Structure 1
Amino acid sequence: MKRALLSLSLLLIFTLTSFSQYITAEDDASNYTTWTNGSNQGFGFSNWDLTANNNNGTNIFAGYYIGSDPTQNGRQSIATEGKVFGLYANASNNTAYAIAKRLFVDKDNSTRGLNVGEIFSVNMSFSWNGGKRGLNLFGGDGNVFLFNVEHAGSNALNATDGVLASDIFNKNVRLQFLWNGGANNNLTIYVTIDGITTTHERTISSSPVGFAVYTERNGIGDNGNYEPFYNNFKISTIDPSAITSLLDVKINGNIELADDEILTVNNLTIDGGNSFTIKSSLTGSGSLIVNGIVSGDVTVERYIAAATWGEGDDGWHLISSPVAAQSISGSWSPTGVDNNYDFYGWNESGNLWMNHKDAGFSTWNGGNNFNVGQGYMAAYQQTGTKTFVGALNNAAVTKNNLSITSGNYSGWHLVGNPFSSAIDWSNANWVKTGFLSSAKVWVEAYKAYKDVTNDYSNTIPSANGFWVNATEVSNTLTIPLEARTHNSLNWLKSGTSSGYIILTARDIEGNSAQESIIRIDPNATDGFDTDYDAQFMSGYAPMFYSVVESQYVSLNTLPELENKIINLGFVKNNAQEFSIELNTEHNIPGREIYLTDLKTGAVANLTDGQPYLFTSEEGDEPNRFMLNFSMVGIEDQPESDKISIYGNQRSIFISNAPANSTITLTSITGQVLMRTEATGSGLTTLNAEKLPKGVYVVSLIAGGKQISRKVVL
């Protein structure tokens, strides 16, 4: 489940302070040998802006320096590697002051406010109750919010509108400012003194954009008891939604990006002793995009449901590694009783699957690692969450001159998404020279392949393999960084515009399903177009496809539908009962869609989404169905408009003709060539094998009314 937004509980602040968090800005004194105006050894903050009225011509009254760890007089340490930021302003000069200022910035060094859910924090140490010292927050609207000790003889920490803590001297004080935003511009302040935290709510005018630490009339610059010290400046969060793509991020602790969370960052750093894991489950996977540099290893999970072992059509997954040099060992090739697995790579040149268990696999694969940008097919006897561990693939992947050999799957190659996020097939930066314009992915729930096009189901999930088809010997496929996108689903999410007719044939007994798509594009032809059509690839669902120029296609793109008859092939799987239905969500408006079953003569209007139910037996003619269309208006059509007349190959079909109505076939000149009566079974077929190719007129007379249609044979 998605993590809840930061709460205000003390438990959360302890968790945030001590354990795992995303750090979006950080700096501390251990990074410096000297502290000078304009210096910056951290990230996420602007350069230091240091100001001091430090002399009267002869005496130095104020300044700044890197101090050592001062623990005299019982003062608690806030040092990192023995260093702190020290300020001083000699009390002998009533106007002496020193100020160290910084802004919150993104990767472009542009000022930014805290995002909702981010915390800015700092450590402070005071040991003298004279003068003034403290911290100011700057709002984006120019207002300043004060948090300081500002009266001689006081050891209380005050905010602009009241006391936050009454006794802070010789203590380790940590201030944390959680920006909640909202209508009230809420700021939660956590004050931790020697490990004890109190919580304070404030309403301020805008999100903080920077800070200043300062002193007035405190110390003489000798790293002594009077100086105020500051350290450990940080902006952090536990909520990835608080992070924008313009920010650098450092992982602190052991972070898990949940299976429904997404994260886009500029640079990502995972130092030794810390870890970052992208979670995966049955319902989805986390998604990470790094636009800059990744330093350190990442763990990417891939949830894989168990196969019903012994059933060859169940439990297959197409996988690909999002990290470099991931071994196909360990959990990827398990051992033990009832812990079997199958793992294959596709060899196009041999037109066969290469079994990881066979001796020749390593030679063919070039080793025992996942190859970057290559897909594999696997099934496991036990449900499990597999892991990819290593350096993230964070560069475009190019495949050149993939083979084209003879065979049933000529030119088909199983490649893979090489990134820790989904990729968008429609992104303009892809290079697909010499390839079909569509790809295919395996839909595990349907036991079938699904087309991936520029405008339909165009998202390929992380760690997934997918198929491409090379059509030219000289070819190039480049998977660009720009194609990365966030989609946490473990299989494709259909998102399509209008202009599609999506039919699905379902195996009612086994719940497998196969889509067949008709698309309208004026740039396409009636023949097979490599830029618009997709060849059919069979899985374990019933075969269901369009027939175009003797080719089986799963995506059939036509310039228009007027007077079109679409032949649909169907070949059963192991089941006996099936259905065909129309996806009404993305149907072409203004058309009624009719499915003709050439085996039974039945004509089904699919327009309302009701499935057509039928049975199939071994040996049935594959060219079983036809699809045709009629225009519809706003009002109900008259009965004559519901009659459909069309020619296909060497036959003429009349659907929905009233029983005993008269049907006459004439030449274009009016010569009567055939006369018969409608069968009343829903579909009447005229055998036109002996007629030459040309244009004919079919007339139907029923109830004293006549309709006529031209047909082309």
Structure 2
Amino acid sequence: MKNFTQYKILGSNGHFILLVLFFLIQILETQAQYISNNGTYISITNGTVVGMDSITNYNSATLVNNGTLTIITVNNTATIENNETLATATINNSGTFQNTKMLTATTVINSGTFENLDIFSAPTVNNSGTFANGGSFTATDVNNTLTFENTGTLNTNAFINEGNTLGDGTYNILDNFTSSGTFLSEAGAVNMNGTSAQIMTMAATTFNNLTINNAASVTLISTQTIITNTLTINAGKVFKIEADKNLTVTGTIINNADTSGLILKSNASGTASLLHNTINVPVTVQRYISGTAEDWHFLSAPVSNQDISGSWNPSGTYGNGTGYDLYIFNEPTPCWTYQLNTTVAPTWPSIHPTANFVTGRGYLYSTQAANPTKEFIGLLNNGSISYPITNESPDLVVQGFNLIGNPYPSSIDWKSITGWTRTNLVSSGGGYDMWIWNQESNNYGVYNSIGDIGTNGVTQHIAPAQGYFVRAVSNGNINLSNAVRINTGASNWLKGTDSGINSLKIRITSKEAHGYDEVLLQFGYPKNEAGALKLFSQNEAAPSAYLYDSRKDLSVRYLTDTNENSNVPLYFKAGKDGGYYLSFDTVFGAFDVLLLEDKKNNSITDLNVNAKYEFNGAVKDDANRFVVHFKDRIIETEDLPATIYYDGNEINVDLTMVNEQTDIKIYDMLGKVVLEKKKEGKMIHRFKINSKSAVYIVVANSNGKYTSRVLLVY
């Protein structure tokens, strides 16, 4: 028999309560492993019951705890009222359990009614009955091993899940829903029933059914939430998806609150994204206009019936009384056509007869006001969409360029191998190019459908409400379906920084903030071929960088290797006279030799030592200014039969086969001239270099014929 001193029952005045004492002594002397209440009730007023080993309470009557009760297992088939502190390992409740103070348990199995009005903590809860929580329900465990299994009903104010919740029952939530753990509901329902604004901050979450029943709004803050069956927004209620967040609904959306009931928000951080598969969902999709006032933006409508009127046509101080500009690009002409142009062909009504934004079409838009948030209000586009494209322009430079747009409230993936029909587009490097305007760079960026890197911040992900250019090889259509849709990149407006080991991205930036431009060299192709055409900026102050091949100005070239392409010309046009710098983005050490030759400054820079080159540029400069070299013999020619080598002591320039006077220059790897001499032909000249363990470029030039070598001096 256990020692009686292990169990203490203290009355409110320090006296023993005789009835309870007599009852417990009988139990402890005979069983010592459990407390059995089959009578009217057990009442603990202000005292303490402590079980030091494994005590079980079997309650089929009424247990009222107003003190402290610490036991191992509670089996309740009747009524337990806990008004103070109850600590237990396991609660099996098929009756009524009411907690008004503090309850700590390891496992709760509830098939009856469990009412919690204050503090409740349990690593494991199995609920098949009704769980009513008037306080804040927190499912948590420091080791993230908590499991809340609900196949019944949970009524609670706030729900906080920091562990693992399996929720095939019903959740009625009056306050915020916070889940930093895993929440999986495969057959149940979550009802957001608050009367003040509720927030759902979610990690990995799967709902079977989610019902919005709150007129003050429910806001989802999540990038990992999926609804597999039905999202229901009741009449007069509001559901918002926060900017830079997203939601996937693989089932059905029922929006009984019309366009004000479902709002996809947008701000400087990005735009909300929605993956769905229901036609004609009423919605309000916001689009934050970034950048400075009067910046140009490509946009597209994610709804089918938004008028081009109202807030889209704000008044202002322009000559015609407006505060905006809206254009479409007409490929056959080719030209940009202004919305208010009704007199000069092609007029807006002749090529855009509808009053609404056209699904799949791209628009060029600018506002006099800085950073307004516009709204597309209507029915969400969904499913297969086809948009006509043309190749009719007499101007070969822009022939086939069509401005189209993302028609969905989610991003689309230009690299998706399914969902696209692009056979009417020009093939480039085995893929298809698309161009997006970047107001920060004041230039177009380009991305290829089989590439891994784009220019000027353009990535494979085309954001919601984003317009973009494609180039048609013939008249036809571009088709896309839900298979191209993703939630990735909705807020990644021109922020891509990826680079590949077989690529070299070159950027030229204006120091006076006139913008920047990029070109891309891609190696590893079976043959050299032209890549994406260069679309020049219409901002005259913007710098332009481009490549040249097959009589075309390019932003991208596809090349075999650096042996076959040991030097590549880089063209540059300054928009304004001023300072510029070149920077180079590649995997460190990807090219054994990477040199930049500036033909105007007559300098060579080792880009593996210094990947940034500063220079001054002028509008009148020859565009054919730079050469990128990938071989240590920078220029191989037999026009000047000079031999340059290092003999371990001196640099030798053998001019015995050269008849004329020759200019000899020696550069360090920063492009600085360390020696410059004029030497006669018909002899060998030797030059002592004091700084050892360094690489030098030696150039011999005679009457426009020259040769050069990169030498390691040791």
What range is the shorter-chain TM-score in? 0.5 to 0.7
Measured against aligned partners, the alpha-carbon deviations of 1:156-186 in whole angstroms (never above 9, x if no partner) come to 9x974896369xxxxx996699684652416
Distance in 1 between residues matched to 2:292 and 2:697, nearest whole Å:
60
Q: 2:593 maps to what in 1? A: 592
- Cα offset, 1:235, TM superposition: 4.8
Give runs of aligned pairs for residues 162-311 of structure 1, distance below 5 A: 164=115, 180=139, 183-185=144-146, 187=148, 207-210=166-169, 234-235=190-191, 238-239=200-201, 241=203, 242=205, 243-244=225-226, 246-252=228-234, 253-266=237-250, 267-272=252-257, 275-290=261-276, 292-294=277-279, 296-305=281-290, 307-308=292-293
- Cα offset, 1:517, TM superposition: 0.7
Q: 1:123 maps to what in 2? A: none
- Cα offset, 1:706, TM superposition: 13
The farther-off stretch of 375-384 and 490-499 is 490-499
Q: 1:432 maps to what in 2? A: 422
Measured against aligned partners, the alpha-carbon deviations of 1:61-101 in whole angstroms (never above 9, x if no partner) come to xxxxxxxxxxxxxxxxxxxxxxxxxxxxxxxxxxxxxxxxx
In the superposition, relative to structure 1, how do residues 261 and 644 fare at CA in structure 2: closer, same or farther (>3 Å)? same
Distance in 1 between residues matched to 2:434 and 2:406, nearest whole Å:
12
Is 1:406 aligned with 2:394? Answer: yes
In the superposition, relative to structure 1, how do residues 615 and 164 fare at CA in structure 2: closer, same or farther (>3 Å)? same
Q: 1:624 maps to what in 2? A: 625
- 1:375 corresponds to which of 340, 357, 362: 362
SS of match in other structure, 1:389? strand
Q: 1:446 maps to what in 2? A: 441
In the superposition, relative to structure 1, how do residues 306 and 661 fare at CA in structure 2: closer, same or farther (>3 Å)? closer
Structure 1, unmatched stretches of 5+, are 1-130, 134-143, 167-171, 213-231, 310-314, 631-642, 685-698
Amino acid at match of 1:611: K
Distance in 1 between residues matched to 2:271 and 2:623, nearest whole Å:
40
Asked if structure 1 preserves the Cα contact closer than 8 Å seen for 2:170 and 2:190, the reply is: no
Distance in 1 between residues matched to 2:581 and 2:230, nearest whole Å:
52
Amino acid at match of 2:556: L
Distance in 2 between residues matched to 1:655 and 1:503, nearest whole Å:
31
Asked if structure 2 preserves the Cα contact closer than 8 Å seen for 1:240 and 1:262, the reply is: no
Amino acid at match of 1:448: N
- Cα offset, 1:578, TM superposition: 0.8
Give runs of aligned pairs for residues 221-620 of structure 1, distance below 5 A: 234-235=190-191, 238-239=200-201, 241=203, 242=205, 243-244=225-226, 246-252=228-234, 253-266=237-250, 267-272=252-257, 275-290=261-276, 292-294=277-279, 296-305=281-290, 307-308=292-293, 315-337=295-317, 340-359=323-342, 360-383=347-370, 384-400=372-388, 402-407=390-395, 408-429=397-418, 430-436=420-426, 437-453=432-448, 454-456=451-453, 457-470=459-472, 472-485=473-486, 486-487=488-489, 488-523=491-526, 525-528=527-530, 533-539=531-537, 540=539, 541-562=542-563, 563-584=565-586, 586=587, 589-608=590-609, 610-620=611-621
Distance in 2 between residues matched to 1:656 and 1:480, nearest whole Å:
62
TM-score in terms of structure 1 length: 0.61
Distance in 2 between residues matched to 1:611 and 1:706, nearest whole Å:
18
Amino acid at match of 2:315: T
- Cα offset, 1:240, TM superposition: 5.8
Asked if structure 2 preserves the Cα contact closer than 8 Å seen for 1:655 and 1:683, the reply is: no
Distance in 2 between residues matched to 1:300 and 1:388, nearest whole Å:
5
- Cα offset, 1:368, TM superposition: 2.2
Asked if structure 2 preserves the Cα contact closer than 8 Å seen for 1:188 and 1:201, the reply is: no
- Cα offset, 1:440, TM superposition: 0.8
- Cα offset, 1:514, TM superposition: 0.2
Distance in 2 between residues matched to 1:307 and 1:649, nearest whole Å:
55
- Cα offset, 1:337, TM superposition: 4.4
- Cα offset, 1:508, TM superposition: 0.7
Asked if structure 2 preserves the Cα contact closer than 8 Å seen for 1:460 and 1:491, the reply is: no
Asked if structure 2 preserves the Cα contact closer than 8 Å seen for 1:566 and 1:626, the reply is: yes
In the superposition, relative to structure 1, how do residues 355 and 402 fare at CA in structure 2: closer, same or farther (>3 Å)? same
Asked if structure 1 preserves the Cα contact closer than 8 Å seen for 2:280 and 2:380, the reply is: no
Measured against aligned partners, the alpha-carbon deviations of 1:557-614 in whole angstroms (never above 9, x if no partner) come to 1011115211111111024111111124x46714332111111111122234542111
Amino acid at match of 2:422: K
Distance in 1 between residues matched to 2:625 and 2:161, nearest whole Å:
73
Distance in 1 between residues matched to 2:378 and 2:686, nearest whole Å:
75
In the superposition, relative to structure 1, how do residues 260 and 677 fare at CA in structure 2: closer, same or farther (>3 Å)? same
SS of match in other structure, 1:679? strand
Distance in 2 between residues matched to 1:344 and 1:651, nearest whole Å:
56
In the superposition, relative to structure 1, how do residues 491 and 254 fare at CA in structure 2: closer, same or farther (>3 Å)? farther
* Identity rate, percent: 21
- Cα offset, 1:200, TM superposition: 10
Amino acid at match of 2:368: Q
Amino acid at match of 1:185: L
Distance in 1 between residues matched to 2:189 and 2:549, nearest whole Å:
67
Distance in 2 between residues matched to 1:551 and 1:610, nearest whole Å:
28
- Cα offset, 1:247, TM superposition: 4.0
Measured against aligned partners, the alpha-carbon deviations of 1:391-428 in whole angstroms (never above 9, x if no partner) come to 11112322345223221311111111111111111110
In the superposition, relative to structure 1, how do residues 425 and 198 fare at CA in structure 2: closer, same or farther (>3 Å)? closer
In the superposition, relative to structure 1, how do residues 469 and 614 fare at CA in structure 2: closer, same or farther (>3 Å)? same
Asked if structure 2 preserves the Cα contact closer than 8 Å seen for 1:186 and 1:203, the reply is: no
Asked if structure 1 preserves the Cα contact closer than 8 Å seen for 2:114 and 2:132, the reply is: no
- Cα offset, 1:675, TM superposition: 7.9
Distance in 2 between residues matched to 1:304 and 1:656, nearest whole Å:
60
Measured against aligned partners, the alpha-carbon deviations of 1:264-303 in whole angstroms (never above 9, x if no partner) come to 111222113661111111221111111x214531111111
Give runs of aligned pairs for residues 49-198 of structure 1, distance below 5 A: 149=95, 160=109, 164=115, 180=139, 183-185=144-146, 187=148
Amino acid at match of 1:446: S
Asked if structure 2 preserves the Cα contact closer than 8 Å seen for 1:304 and 1:386, the reply is: yes
Cα RMSD, aligned residues only: 4.7
In the superposition, relative to structure 1, how do residues 389 and 482 fare at CA in structure 2: closer, same or farther (>3 Å)? same
Greater RCO, CA 8 A, separation 6+: 1
Asked if structure 2 preserves the Cα contact closer than 8 Å seen for 1:283 and 1:490, the reply is: no
Distance in 1 between residues matched to 2:358 and 2:369, nearest whole Å:
25
Asked if structure 2 preserves the Cα contact closer than 8 Å seen for 1:180 and 1:188, the reply is: no
Distance in 2 between residues matched to 1:653 and 1:554, nearest whole Å:
36
- Cα offset, 1:504, TM superposition: 0.3
Distance in 2 between residues matched to 1:203 and 1:505, nearest whole Å:
48
